[in-house]
Copies of this chain bind each other. A is one copy, B any other.
């Protein structure tokens, strides 16, 4: 199939320079702050985004190399298909995080909920709209079997060591 090519619209500034020992999900990283630094030429596209509490950030796992079709997620010791987990080593290394907007200054969105590496290229930003984005009957697969402390689980090197 043909290639589908994009250009980064901006960059994530994060306290994490490596993909190790990071929070494994943004919603459990509420106290960790980062910035979406949008290319200034797109700043008009942020109009009214301050009305939302949360946005989706869609980004490129730029440190990821190659992929596996089955892998163990950070929160489980069983292998699952790559499309049933969120690991970065995917056929297309695209990440999604739901982050909370703290403030917006010109082309910079200050947010909490950082689970991305510093310098991550951003592909898109979309508003989180509860009416669209919360199914009322969702069930959570292998996660529902887990009784884990999400807040205290950090990433380890399992998806990194093959990447560098």
> Which residues does A use to contact B, with CB under 8 Å?
1-9, 25-28, 39, 42, 44-49, 51-56, 58, 60, 69-70, 79-86, 90-92, 94, 96, 98, 100, 121, 123-135, 137-143, 150
Closest to A68 in B: B45
Does more than half of chain A's interface fall in helix, strand or loop, or is it mixed? mixed
- 19 sample A-B contacts, Cβ–Cβ < 8 Å, listed by A number: A1-B7, A6-B6, A6-B94, A7-B91, A28-B132, A42-B91, A45-B69, A46-B83, A52-B138, A53-B138, A53-B139, A86-B126, A86-B127, A90-B124, A98-B132, A128-B138, A129-B143, A130-B139, A130-B140
Q: How far is the CA of A85 from the CA of B44 in the complex (A)?
A: 13
Query: Is B139 within 8 A of A52, CB to CB?
Result: yes
Query: Is A96 within 8 A of B48, CB to CB?
Result: no
Counted per complex, copies of this chain come to 2
Query: Is B6 within 8 A of A48, CB to CB?
Result: no
Closest to A132 in B: B25
Q: How far is the CA of A98 from the CA of B5 in the complex (A)?
A: 23
Query: Is A70 within 8 A of B45, CB to CB?
Result: yes
